[in-house]
Amino acid sequence: MVPVSAYLIVAIVLFGIGTVGVLISRNMIVMFMCIELMLNAANLALIAFSRSLEVMDGHAFVFLVLTVAAAEAAVGLAIVLAIYRNRETINIDRFSILKW
Amino acid sequence: MSLDTLIFVISVIVAVFSATMMIVQRNPIASVLYLIVSLVAQAVLYVQLGALFLGSILIIVYAGAILVLFLFIIMLLNLRGNEDLGEKSPLVSQATKFIVSILFVLELVFVVRSGYVAESIATGVADTGSTGFGSVEDVALLLFTRYLYPFELTSILLLAAIVGAVVMARRENRDIQQSMFVEQTPSETFKKGQG
């Protein structure tokens, strides 16, 4: 019997690791992977609550989140490809032309 | 320590360790492989929580398809470890990032601690069979009855993602920025080398 709060703590830790990764990484692909990790941490919390409350609605939400993650990965990687073709780098610090 | 707790602790250690290794690796391919390990450990947690179908979906779709897509892109761009990442950012900036993320995590901890959390859950592992909580049948029933409308909207999202990915990754148009906003052939004013 593992309490549901333990699963929530795991979800928080994974989400925090993803946040740190997005902030400190300068490789665009690694940033995308960290976003995927954050989505998965949210999924873990949803499933833990779903189990704790004995309703399965959380599973449907997780299914939809997985779809969103797949779409986001496809579009995001296409953007990375387009940027790399134009600028020959995926270092995020080089893409500051929108910065005021 | 019961078997449930043991499985939980091992999976958590593996998941958190490989997630940490993912963000400290310089080589993007190593990062992808560590993320796959972390996802497999998370799938174990899913199964422990009774979500048998979603655990297998996580491995098949996520580790099997999405992360292979990441690997394809990394190999297509021919990225190696340290190149192209510039100099390290200044120390103050790094410290600020860490402090902001720690504050963010503390905020999440506060939210969880202040809210209502049920005390314990029954983690009957894998004795649910083909029906019951978390089975394919129940998830499908929910998706096709109560959540039918969002589920159908998902197909539109996927269609938009496919079209978007094809448009973004198209090769013949060198001026992608222009072709995104102007639906015409590239004029002579925008040439390569201007950006």
A4-87 folds as Helix Hairpins (1.10.287)
**pTM recorded for the entire structure:** 0.76
Question: B125-156, pLDDT tens digit by residue?
Answer: 444 444 577 788 888 888 899 999 999 999 99
The answer, yes or no, to whether residue B14 has pLDDT greater than 70, is: yes
Q: Where are the beta strands (DSSP E) in B31-137?
A: none
The answer to whether position B50 is within a domain reads yes
Residue from B67, B70, B179 whose CB has the most chain A CBs within 10 Å, to mutate: B70
Give residue B33's domain range: 3-82+89-127
pLDDT score for A24? 87
The answer to whether A2 contacts chain B (CB < 8 Å) is yes
The answer to whether A27 contacts chain B (CB < 8 Å) is yes
Q: Contacts for B23-29 with beta carbons within 8 Å, 24 or more apart?
A: B23/A17, B23/A20, B23/A21, B23/A24, B23/A25, B23/A30, B23/A34, B25/A30, B26/B81, B26/B82, B26/B85, B27/B80, B27/B81, B28/A27, B28/A29, B28/A30, B28/B74, B28/B79, B29/B71, B29/B74, B29/B75
Contacts with B94 from chain A: Cβ below 8 Å: 24
Q: Residue A27, SS3?
A: strand
The answer, yes or no, to whether residue B168 has pLDDT greater than 70, is: yes
Q: Token pair 């928080």 is at which residue? A: A12
Contacts with B104 from chain A: Cβ below 8 Å: 16, 19
Q: Could you tell me which residues come within 8 angstroms of residue A65 by beta carbon, excluding any fewer than 6 positions away?
A: A39, A42, A43, A46
The answer to whether position B194 is within a domain reads no
Instruction: Count other Cβ atoms within 10 Å, centred on residue B89.
Output: 13
Q: Which helix (H) or strand (E) holds B102?
A: helix B91-114
Residue pLDDT tens, chain A, 100 long = 688 889 999 999 999 999 999 988 888 889 999 999 999 999 999 999 998 888 888 999 999 999 999 999 999 999 888 888 887 777 877 777 776 6
CA A35 remoteness from chain centre: 2
Looking at per-residue confidence, does B110 or B64 come out higher? B64
The answer to whether position B104 is within a domain reads yes
Number of structural domains (chain B) is 1
The answer to whether position B167 is within a domain reads no
The answer to whether position B105 is within a domain reads yes
How far is the C-alpha of B152 from the C-alpha of B144, rounded, in Å?
9
First to last CA, chain A: 53
Question: B169-189, pLDDT tens digit by residue?
Answer: 887 655 555 555 555 455 544
One-character DSSP codes across B67-87 = HHHHHHHHHHHT--SSTT--S
Q: Å from B147 to nearest chain A CA?
A: 7
The answer to whether position B46 is within a domain reads yes
CA dihedral for B27, B30, B32, B35, sign (positive or negative)? negative
Residue from A49, A51, A61 whose CB has the most chain B CBs within 10 Å, to mutate: A51
The answer to whether position B151 is within a domain reads no
Contacts with B31 from chain A: Cβ below 8 Å: 29-30, 33
Q: Å from B28 to nearest chain A CA?
A: 7
pLDDT score for B123? 47
CATH number for position B68: 1.20.120.1200
The answer to whether A14 contacts chain B (CB < 8 Å) is yes
Spans of all domains in chain A: 4-87
Q: Token pair 């080398």 is at which residue? A: B193
